[in-house]
Amino acid sequence: LSMHHHHPSEAHLEHHDKGRSHGSHEHGMTPVQSPALLQHEHLALVGEEVVDDTEFSELERVGKGVRVGQVIEHLSTELSEDTSCRSLPGAILLFACFIVSCLQAEEPTLNYSTRSLLNEILTEDANFAYIPGSQFQHDLGADQDVGMKVLDNANTRQDVHSWFRLGFFPLFQGSFSLDGPADMSAIITQWEYNSAIGGIRLSQELAPLGDCRDASMAKALANFDICSPAFHYLSTPLSPHLPDILAREVKEDDPVRWFFFSEDWSIIEARIDETLRPNSTWLQRRRSESVRAAVPLYNPELHTLTVVYAEFFFARSGKQWARVLAPTLKLQVYYKLFHIVVDVVCAVLVLQIFYAEGKEVRVIVIESKRQRMTPFKAIFEHFTQFWNGVDCLCMIGFSFLVFYWIGHIQNAQTLSDMLAGDLFGQRTMTGSEEEKAQALRALLDHVEMSLRHQLTVAYIRSICLFLVPMRMFKAFSAQARLSILTRTFTVCANDVFHFLLIFFTLFMSWAVCGIVLFGNSIEEFADFERAMNTCLRVVLGEIVWHEVREEAGPIVAALWLWTFCFVNSLVVLNMLLAIIMDAYTEVKSSVGTHSETLLEQAWETFTRWKARRAGHRLSVKEVLYALEDKQLPPDVKITPASFCDIVTGLGKEQAEEVLIGALQDADDLERTTHSVSAVIKMVGAVDTRVKAMNRNLTLLIGHSVASSNGAVKGPATPESIL
């Protein structure tokens, strides 16, 4: 069956032309070919015979033959889909096991609960500025003196001394009295499940000395002979974060004082006064950048070691900032069988990646030698491909993770052995002053080294948490319906890149404008980093209207906020969504009608594997390699019978299945896919062509009328005709 577009035959056209010529001579006219009729000749539709074979059944179409090139392309696609479907369970299992392993290793709930408890105790319970016999004490009915300040009220150097002497040290020493002896039995009940170990290290970070910006004015107005700028703490720290504290480890030349719990309270009190009084020789007021206290705590219930850091920063603006941080280390990494099983499964799956990539590299080396190519160049080209590069990064990331994880386990065991030694085995340390200081220094140094190591493990694990899903996307890429997301990003990547250049230009302009307008009075705009974060929060819907209105006034605040929200939130972000949705519609429309779902493909892979095991069919790889070995021209058509002759052992049913699949893929490729923007362009082009056809038809009708009436004077135009 076929359908034909019928057009006038050449004889009919010739007869029509003769008639027109005869009619023109009869009316005294010469046949003139108007240029207006030919100016849109390139838009004319050329009629050709179109055979529609879609009404045939698929078996009838296959019986007429399928091109070899289409069959090879279909088999290659099927092989890629089959390989991806087989690798998908392993990728999903690795992702799930790695997620569970990370949660088991980190135990964020445990660490957060410990940190929040200690932070609350040091912030709220370390009271100072006691007032004996105060009315406040009488109203509370308290039996002891009452502290009127907490950590947030420590704003001067005198407050630092008072907080450490009356608030911080008594918490760990086990006594809140100002003049009584330390109650050592109170140590057991003071922290409930956390016991302070050994003593407290008090260290001071010094800034280098330098010339003042104006030496004469500094001497005349402030009696400063030399300055010591501390640029690291000019503004408020964003948050108490562990990387900053661990990066600033105590150096050899930093002033350090040791306080041991085995000492009498009167001795500790005297040493605190000697160390932290504003006029003390240890606390160098001009050069001091920060004063940090560190004390280790052991939890026997959880078998963890926590280091409590309390630190004061002295900004050269005169402001004083305080931080409290309590990172925790597990002294027994593996104490659950489930955790061990999960990590073993992860290790096996990672080794499988190494094995698979090793096999591919081996094949590449063999092929490169056969083609007289440098193996290193071939391997480099292999891993520079995107998905192969993802596998390479996964292997590198997990190699580093295993290396640092083994070191983390060794560090935990070393700390456990140190705490079980003679010096730390008792509630209080024994030995001479030098021995106790050396032992406590070694313990804190090893704890901080272990914390840095643990932080590195967390960073590597975070990177791997993004690489492992990328391997899942690699398996998704061969499945038409699962790869929609990744292909959408690929299609719109170029447009998004150029869009982001404009977006960040506008975004940074408003952020810097916020610094200029509000930076002197609002903490959220105090520096560039915080201003960028604040603007991002505004884009996501968190409005800072009250803060900016109170500081800058309603007019300036409204102008900045309204223009920022209108341009960035309402216009620019919607343009980004339009770009992505346009690419999504294009990718979505390219998915063929015969594309399989994930469940259909999984079932097909299983049935093929089952039939292959039973000897009823060949594998896709065997059929593909056998067909490629024949080196047939791509345009040669093969039928099911000839296909069975070409591939030894291929059954008729499997041959028909392969050829039908090749035809379906070819039909899907012939379907033109367009995005929304492309459709709009096509509509515009069609509109132009329709207008041109209308113009030509108008001129043709006019000439026909004029020829029949013999009244054409001069060239015909659409205006004269209408």
Q: Which of 273, 301, 330 is the last residue of a domain?
A: 330
Q: Which of 504, 523, 502, 505 is nearest to 514 (CA)?
A: 523
Find the mean pLDDT for residues 201-208: 88
Tens of pLDDT, residue by residue over 47-74, are 444 444 554 577 777 778 888 888 888 8
Give the residue from 572, 592, 579, 593 showing the smallest Cα distance to 491: 579
| DSSP string covering 536-559 | HHHHTT---HHHHHHHH-HHHHHH
Phi, psi of 91 (to 5 degrees): -65, -40
Neighbouring residues of 312: CB distance < 8 A, sequence distance ≥ 6:
154, 160, 290, 291, 292, 320, 321, 322
Q: Note the pLDDT of residue 200.
A: 92
Quickly tell me which residue has 């520079």 as its tokens: 384
pLDDT at residue 204 above 80? yes
* Average pLDDT score, the chain: 79
- Helix, strand, or coil here: 322? strand
pLDDT number for residue 57: 72
* DSSP output for 351-362: HHHHHHHHHHHH
Whether 522 and 561 share a structural domain: yes
> pLDDT tens digit string along 657-704?
888 888 887 777 776 556 666 777 778 888 888 888 888 888 888 888
Exposed (0-12), middle (13-18) or buried (19+): which is 658, by Cβ within 10 Å?
buried
> How far is the CA of 144 from the CAs of 177, 191, 219, 475, in angstroms?
8, 20, 47, 69
Enter the tokens of residue 683: 């509509």
Q: Say how far apart CA 67 and CA 627 lie, in whole Å.
A: 12
pLDDT value of position 473:
84
How many domains is the chain built from? 5
Radius of gyration for the alpha carbons in the chain, expressed in angstroms and rounded: 41
Would you give the DSSP letter of residue 208?
P
Of 330, 362, 396, the residue at which a domain comes to its end is 330
pLDDT at 301: 85
> Could you tell me the pTM of the whole model?
0.75
Q: Are residues 340 and 454 in the same domain?
A: yes
The angle subtended at Cα 390 by Cα 385 and Cα 393, nearest 5°, is 120
Do 145 and 257 share a domain, yes or no?
A: yes
Same domain flag for 376 and 273: no
Interatomic CA distance for residues 290 and 207, integer angstroms: 9
pLDDT at 717: 55
In a domain, 58, yes or no: no
Q: Cβ(662)–Cβ(71) under 8 Å?
A: yes
Distance, CA of 689 to CA of 44 (rounded, Å) = 9
Residue (of 176, 153, 152) closest to 166 by Cα position: 176
User: What is residue 599's predicted lDDT score, i.e. its pLDDT?
Assistant: 79
Query: Please, what is the angle between helix 68-106 and helix 598-614, to 10°?
Result: 110
What letter represents residue 71's amino acid?
A: V
Buried b (16+ CB within 10 A) or exposed e, 481-506: ebbbebbbeebbeebbeebeeebeee
Locate tokens 């804190």: which residue? 444
- Please check whether residue 320 is in contact with residue 314, taking contact to mean a CB–CB distance below 8 angstroms: yes
483: amino acid identity, one letter:
S
Q: Which of 564, 590, 616 is the last residue of a domain?
A: 590
Residue 58 near residue 64 (C-beta atoms within 8 A): no
Q: Are 634 and 619 in contact (CB under 8 A)?
A: no
439 and 348, same structural domain?
A: yes
| In contact, 162 and 176? CB cutoff 8 Å | no
The pLDDT tens digits of the residues spanning 336-357 come to 899 999 999 999 999 999 999 9
The answer as to whether 103 is a domain residue is: no
Backbone angles phi, psi at 258, to 5 degrees: -115, 135
Q: How many residues are present in the chain?
A: 722
Kindly state whether residue 116 falls inside one of the protein's structural domains.
Answer: no
Per-residue confidence (pLDDT) for residue 42, from 0 to 100: 39
Mean pLDDT, residues 266-284 taken together:
86
pLDDT in tens, 153-178: 888 888 888 899 888 888 876 543 33
User: Residue 85 and residue 106: Cα distance in Å, rounded?
Assistant: 32
User: Residues 375, 226: one domain?
Assistant: no
Which of 559-568, 582-591, 710-719 has the least mean pLDDT? 710-719
Closest CA to 209 of 231, 229, 232: 229
Q: Return the closest-CA partner of residue 395 out of 473, 459, 463.
A: 463
User: CA 610, 629, 361 angle in degrees (round to 5)?
Assistant: 75
- CA 486 to chain CA centroid, Å, is 14
Q: Say if residue 319 is in the same domain as residue 193.
A: yes
Distance CA 123, CA 153 (A): 10
- pLDDT tens digits, residue range 94-142? 999 999 999 988 787 777 888 888 888 888 888 887 655 555 445 545 4
Backbone angles phi, psi at 296, to 5 degrees: -85, 140
**Among all chains, which residue has been given the structure tokens 């500790």?**
268
Q: What's the rounded mean pLDDT across residues 224-233? A: 68
Question: Does one domain contain both 177 and 284?
Answer: yes
Helix axes 554-564, 528-539, angle to 10 degrees: 70
* Cα separations in angstroms, 597 against 63, 73, 476, 480, 602: 28, 20, 11, 8, 9
Other Cβ atoms within 10 Å of 38 Cβ, number: 11
Per-residue pLDDT at 319 exceeds 80: no
Q: What is the mean pLDDT of residues 554-582?
A: 89
On whether residue 709 sits in a domain, the answer given is yes
**590, 488 Cβ separation under 8 angstroms:** no
In this structure, is residue 441 part of a structural domain? yes
Residue 233: pLDDT band (50, 70, 90) is very low
* Same domain assignment for residues 646 and 711: no
Q: At residue 274, does pLDDT exceed 60?
A: yes
Measured between alpha carbons, how far is 500 from 505 in angstroms, rounded to an integer? 8
Q: Give the span between the Cα atoms of 53 and 588, in whole angstroms.
A: 26
Domain membership of residue 413 (yes or no) is yes
Q: Are residues 165 and 301 in the same domain?
A: yes
Confidence of residue 230 (pLDDT cuts 50, 70, 90): low
Flag whether pLDDT at 597 surpasses 50: yes
- Inform me whether the pLDDT recorded for 488 exceeds 80: yes
Q: Is residue 290 helix, strand or coil?
A: strand
Are residue 282 and residue 180 in the same domain, yes or no?
Answer: yes
148 SS3 class = strand
- Residues 269, 396 share a domain: no
Residue type, 421: G
Distance CA 597, CA 481 (A): 7
| 492 neighbors 200 (Cβ within 8 angstroms) | no
Question: What does the alpha-carbon distance between residue 9 and residue 656 come to, in Å, rounded to a whole number?
Answer: 42
User: Cα separation of 593 and 601, whole Å?
Assistant: 14
Q: Where are the beta strands (DSSP E) in 374-464?
A: none
Q: Determine how many CB atoms are found less than 10 A away from the CB of residue 200.
A: 25
Task: Tell whether 96 is covered by a domain.
Answer: no
Q: Mean pLDDT throughout 376-400?
A: 90
Long-range contacts of 616-623 (CB under 8 A, 24+ apart): 616/651, 617/651, 617/654, 618/647, 618/649, 618/650, 618/654, 620/75, 620/78, 620/79, 620/82, 621/79, 622/647, 623/75, 623/647, 623/650, 623/654, 623/658
Enclosing domain of residue 660: 65-88+595-670
Residue 104 lies in a domain: no
Distance (Å, rounded) from C-alpha 486 to C-alpha 482?
8
pLDDT band at residue 713 using 50, 70 and 90 as cut-offs: low
**C-alpha 334: how far from chain center:** 29
C-alpha span between 58 and 316 (Å, rounded): 83
